[in-house]
Amino acid sequence: MDQPVIASTQYVAACPGCGAGAEWHGVQVLLAGAGSLRWDTECACPACGSSAAVCDDELPDGLREQLLAEHGRATLQVSPSARSAPVMQVLRASLGLDLTAAKAALHRIRLGEYTGTLPETELLARRLRASGVDAVARSPARAHEAWGMGHGA
């Protein structure tokens, strides 16, 4: 069974109770066996003492870039022998791309330039593997590895 994949960050945003600045802790999560990403965040306000938790599918504006800045960009890779059609089918279905955009994304993948958060790229890698495509999401620390050298995330 696949393991959960998590990227976390901390940020300051308004407390929903009193509006004061509060430190929030957020995680983008790909749960084991899940077919989608989650964004969960919570805070405890030091000004009023209230707590809040929010679970959603989408990262709030700006926090994706913050995750990428803090954790680096993971790279999606497919086997050099992977056929184009199945890869583009998964890209189109997963990302809502038209044919031209899917071809461009495939080109970026083949060049090693398709990046995202580790949970995002691992979700695509899992969907590609489920379609019979040998694919891997490489964490930023391992993105330089050549295909075939221990291609686990």
Q: What is the pLDDT of residues 115-131, one digit of tens each?
A: 999 999 999 999 999 99
Where does the pLDDT of residue 25 fall: very low under 50, low under 70, confident under 90, or very high at 90 and above?
very high
Rounded to the nearest integer, the mean pLDDT of the chain is 89
Candidates 116, 128, 122; CA nearest to 59 is 116
3-class DSSP assignment, residue 149? coil
- CB 137, CB 125: distance < 8 Å: yes
* Whole-number Å distance between alpha carbons of 139 and 108: 17
Q: Which residues touch 111 (CB under 8 Å, ≥6 apart)?
A: none
φ/ψ bin of 132: left (φ > 0), alpha (ψ from -120 to 50), beta (otherwise): left
The pLDDT, as a whole number, for residue 150 is: 44
